[in-house]
Structure 1
Amino acid sequence: MPAPEDDLKLLTEAAEDAGAIAMRYWRRDPKAWDKGGDAGPVTEADLAVNDALQARLAAARPDYGWLSEESEADAARLDAYRCFIIDPIDGTRAFIDGQDSFSHSLAVAEGDRIVAAVVHLPARKLTYTATAGGPALLNGRPIAPTDAPLGGARVLTYRAAFEPHHWKGGHVPPIRREFRSSLAWRLCLVAEGQFDAALSLRAAWEWDIAAGSLIAERAGALATERGGGRMRFNSARAMVEGMLVAGPRLHGQLLDALAR
């Protein structure tokens, strides 16, 4: 069985190739359509990247399972010792709009834990990486989260998360909300200390958060489900019950402030 470091090298090279493919479509009016069922948009670039990643990664690791936003569900992954968890383009709406904040999110799960992860933003030339036993890096340099307190914390989340009923006593704490389209990148921005926390009270697809959760953890943040439980991956549902990612002090304070 390859070491996580070997899987990380494979993921990194595959992510760079994915970026080259995506950039051929970016800001060139790619064909796009809605997937229906509130699944959001998809473009020809998403599918081209997905096909290239699946061909490369499956050839290199034929015994690994495969879970991707743009592939048909394959129950065989549940019996695999390791499984790729892939979002070919995270932040598709940003990609369609010509914004540079889209990313490629690639991870390997061993059992229900992530052991290797890459989040690559080709238009920004940013590559975040981590293994379960190593540091979190941005373009090869170590990163770390902030140690911010609750008051004034900058939290990456969507508008509805600030509705009073989500918070104890209906009181939203004195935090500042900001937003980025790519969920994977939000976790990495917390990991590198650009923002203090990332929060989702909705169930999240595994491919959106698998890679970023390990990067955040190895940087020194806590990355849990919205209720504080451990994230588990390669599940039958392929979803995690929300997420809360922050430095240890702020993570506890946000958890205490949320309504249960």
Structure 2
Amino acid sequence: MPATDLQLLIDAALEAGKIATRYSGTTAQRWDKPNGAGPVTEADLAVNTMLEQRLPTARPGYGWLSEETEDSSDRLTRERVFIVDPIDGTRSFAEGSRTWAHSLAVADRGEVIAAVIYLPLRDLLYTAAKGQGATLNGATIRVSDIAALETAEILAAKPNMDPRHWRQGQVPVFDRVYRPSLAYRMALVGQGRFDGMLTLRPSWEWDIAAGDLLIREARGYCSDRLGHPLQFNNAHPRLNGVIAAGRHIHDTLHALLDPDSTGIHP
């Protein structure tokens, strides 16, 4: 990894925050994407325009994958690719909440090697680089090392608790909490603020790429719902859910999930 990749992402994320916070979420123009793909605002598009100009210009050999850019198979020919979500948590942004984030990552042959999750309205800058650990506002972070699931706080949306997703229909007991931005959920696990996160819904790469590295560099474990390591820059950039936590909680959740469940579909 070029030594400056992480700094490149940090600088771009800080600029993204300046752009996004010029808009008032509740008054920003908003549209609904086709086929129920969710909302987009003028702030998402403005941030995406800046990132798409700035990042590939700095690394012309890298591919590009963004929620707000029409996908191209050209990225599949590149060893390294930017994977970005200009604003993760667009609904929260549009509602005037502070729990939305910029999520930026670089993947090298399918593995994320540099990552930033930035929440400008909360002044939270999470960063990670392969082999260099993870930080929050410059301070090293670690995942929770709690071992008992029944005393754990797990970030998960309510549909994940449907009995059909668990072996013998037995839903495990833990304290379920929720935050709207998937990137922010993963960052909170990396920080150790919560003990794990779980989503059984097919997950877009741009929502989880940065969080995957952040958690792994914070000494946690991140996999799809079947326990497989996450691989990025796929032809169809969607992964089979996410389990993320310290080793004990990750392994417990994975063991309790029914591998034959088809997951949650949009």
Q: TM-score, normalised by structure 1?
A: 0.97
The alpha carbon displacement at 1:36 in A equals: 2.3
What count of residue pairs does the alignment treat as equivalent?
Answer: 258
The alpha carbon displacement at 1:169 in A equals: 1.3
CA distance in 2, matches of 1:58, 1:117: 16
Structure 1 stretches of 4+ with a deviation exceeding 4 A read none
Aligned to 1:99: 97
Aligned to 1:259: 258
Aligned to 1:86: 84
Aligned to 1:168: 167
CA distance in 2, matches of 1:220, 1:185: 17
Equivalent positions of 1:141-220 (< 5 A) are 141-148=139-146, 149-220=148-219
Aligned to 1:63: 61
Secondary structure of 1:13's counterpart equals: helix
Secondary structure of 2:225's counterpart equals: coil
Q: Does 1:52 align with 2:16?
A: no
- Matched letter for residue 49 of structure 1: V
The alpha carbon displacement at 1:27 in A equals: 3.8
- Matched letter for residue 189 of structure 1: L
Secondary structure of 1:25's counterpart equals: coil
- Matched letter for residue 42 of structure 1: V
Match of 1:33 among 31, 34, 46: 31
CA distance in 2, matches of 1:44, 1:59: 23
CA distance in 2, matches of 1:229, 1:9: 30
Aligned to 2:224: 225
Secondary structure of 2:87's counterpart equals: strand
The alpha carbon displacement at 1:253 in A equals: 0.8
% identical equivalent positions: 47
Secondary structure of 1:232's counterpart equals: coil
Secondary structure of 1:123's counterpart equals: helix
CA distance in 2, matches of 1:27, 1:232: 33
CA distance in 2, matches of 1:142, 1:187: 16
- Matched letter for residue 159 of structure 1: K
CA distance in 2, matches of 1:80, 1:208: 20
Aligned to 1:22: 20
CA distance in 1, matches of 2:34, 2:192: 36
Aligned to 2:71: 73
Q: TM-score, normalised by structure 2?
A: 0.95
The alpha carbon displacement at 1:168 in A equals: 1.1
| Unaligned stretches of 5+ residues in structure 1 | none
CA distance in 2, matches of 1:177, 1:41: 26
The alpha carbon displacement at 1:88 in A equals: 0.2
Match of 1:115 among 113, 116, 137: 113
1:104-134 residue CA offsets vs partner (Å, 9 max, x unmatched): 0000010110000000000001000001111
Secondary structure of 1:86's counterpart equals: strand
The alpha carbon displacement at 1:28 in A equals: 5.5
1:30-55 residue CA offsets vs partner (Å, 9 max, x unmatched): 00011021210000000000000110
Secondary structure of 1:104's counterpart equals: strand
Secondary structure of 1:194's counterpart equals: coil
CA distance in 1, matches of 2:211, 2:38: 21
Q: Does the aligned pair in 1 maintain the 2:25–2:94 contact within 8 Å?
A: yes
- Matched letter for residue 188 of structure 1: A
Aligned to 2:263: none
Aligned to 1:235: 234
1:149-182 residue CA offsets vs partner (Å, 9 max, x unmatched): 2112111111110011111111111111111111
Secondary structure of 1:151's counterpart equals: helix
